[in-house]
Amino acid sequence: MDIVSLAILLLLLYPVWSIMLRPDLDLWRTDDGEAHLLRIYAMRLAFNEAFALPRWASDLYRGYGYPVFNFYAPLSYYGAILLTALGLSTWDAFRALGIVTIASGATGTYALVRITSSRITGNRDRIPAIAAGMLYVFAPYPFITNLYSRADLPEALGMGILPWFLLAVDRCLLADGSGSTLRTILVAAVIGAGLLLTHQLSAVLGIVSASIWIGVHLVNKPFPSVRRGILRLVTSGVIAGGLVAFSAIPTLTEGASVQLGLVKAPIDDMLERLAVPFGSDAPQLRSHPTNNPGLPGAVDWTWTYRYPWGLPLMFSPVKPSAALAVTALSASAGIIVITLARMFASRTRRRTIPGTPVSALPPAVPIMGPVLILGVMWMFNTTWTAFIWANFAP
C-alpha cells in the first residue's frame, strides 16, 4: 500500500525533519530566519488590525514601515498565520510549516516517480519512488540548506511544491475525457498559482522544469498527440495568472515607486557557505575570520551532521553528513542498477518478441530522474555554481 510506503519514507527521513523539533534549534542565527520570523509576526499584527490582505508592514524598518507584502510572495506567511490562529506561536508555526514543507517535497517526489515510471515501465515500483523522495530531501540545497542554514521558509516551501507542480503538468499532458480534462486543468492552475505565490524564483525553476518535461513528451510522441496537452497547460497558465493577479499586478506596476531595481542581496556570506568539492585546503572565511572554516571536500565525513547551532565555533559550508551521503549514494546505486537491468530486459524483449514497439527513450529512464536531481541540488551547494548565486540571487 502507498500509505505504508509513505510512512516508511517519512520514517527514513527522520534525521532531517526531526531537527525542527530540537530545543537547541536557533532560527535567529540563520541567514534569513530573522527576516521571515519578523514578517510572519508583522503580518499577524496586520491581520489583527484589519481582516484584509496586508500590503504594508507598519512596524518594519524601525517604525517607518515598508510594503514588503506588496512585492514578496506571501503564501508561506499566510500559512504560518493560519497556524498561529490555531494557537501556535510564531516560532512554532515556522517550525511546523518547515516539517510540512519537507513532507510535501518527499511525498510529491514519491508520487511523481511512482506514477510516471509505472506508466512507462508497467510496474508500480515503490522502492525507486521511496529512494527518489529520500534523494530529494537529502540533497542539501532544497531543505537542509534552505531551512537549517538560511531559514528561507518560502523557498523551501517552493521546493516542496515543485514535484507536485511537475506531476500536475504531466497529468495535463495526458488527460483525456471532459471530466478529467477540466479537473487536471484546475488542479494544475491551483498548484501553479500556489508556487508563484510562495516563491517567485522557485516558480521560474518550475517553469524551466516543466519545459524540459514537455520536451521529453515531444521526444516520445509526435507533436499532434501532445498539442492538446500543451493547450491544456496554456489554459491552466491563464487561470493561474488570474489567481495570482491580486499579488502580481501590484508587484509589476508599483515596483518603480520603491526602486526595486536597486535592491541587491548581500550574498557574500552565502557564497562563503558554498563547499569546495575537491582539494586539500578550505579557504578561511572572510566574514568570520576567527571561526573554523571546516574541512575541504563535498561531504562532511562525520557520521552526524554538524549543524550550525551545535558547534558555536563552526561556521562552515553546508555539506551532507556521512550518514546522508551513504544513504544518498546507496539509493542512487540502487536506482542505477534497476535502470540498467530494465534497459537490458527491454532490449532482450525487442530481440525475442517481434513487433515490440521501440520508444525514443528507454522505458526505465524516468526513474533515473532522482539521481539527476541529487546531482543538480548538490552542485548548487558547491563553488561550481558560485557564478549563478553571484549573478542571479535576488
Q: What angle do helix axes 322-352 and 127-138 make, rounded to 10 degrees?
A: 140
The predicted structure's pLDDT at residue 178: 47
Instruction: Give 382's strand partners.
Output: 275
Stated length of the chain? 394
Which residue stretches of the chain are H helix?
2-12, 14-17, 33-49, 68-71, 75-85, 90-121, 127-138, 153-174, 178-198, 200-220, 223-243, 245-253, 268-272, 322-352, 369-379, 386-392
Name the one residue in this structure whose C-alpha cell is 521511496. 130
pLDDT tens track, the chain, 394 positions? 588 989 999 998 988 898 899 887 888 878 788 889 999 998 888 888 776 778 888 777 777 888 888 888 999 999 999 999 999 999 999 999 999 999 999 999 999 988 887 776 666 678 888 888 888 888 778 898 889 888 899 999 999 999 999 999 999 988 655 456 888 999 999 999 999 999 988 998 899 888 888 887 787 776 677 788 889 999 999 999 999 998 888 888 887 777 655 655 556 666 776 777 776 666 555 555 555 555 667 677 766 555 444 333 344 556 666 766 777 777 777 767 776 776 777 667 666 655 555 444 444 455 566 666 667 777 777 778 887 777 765 5
The predicted structure's pLDDT at residue 361: 47
The predicted structure's pLDDT at residue 196: 94
Does this model's pTM top 0.85? no
User: Which three cell numbers mark 79?
Assistant: 500559512
The predicted structure's pLDDT at residue 175: 62
Distances (CA, A) of 201 to 162, 211, 243: 11, 15, 18
The predicted structure's pLDDT at residue 80: 94
The predicted structure's pLDDT at residue 161: 96
Distance from C-alpha of 36 to C-alpha of 123, rounded to nearest angstrom: 43
The answer to whether 368 and 336 have CB atoms below 8 angstroms apart is yes
The predicted structure's pLDDT at residue 393: 59
The predicted structure's pLDDT at residue 296: 65
∠97-42-67 over CA atoms, to 5°?
A: 110
Residues with Cβ within 8 Å of 220's Cβ and at least 6 positions away in sequence, in order, are 359, 360, 361
The answer to whether 193 and 243 have CB atoms below 8 angstroms apart is yes
Q: What angle do helix axes 75-85 and 33-49 make, rounded to 10 degrees?
A: 60
Distance from C-alpha of 107 to C-alpha of 289, rounded to nearest angstrom: 41
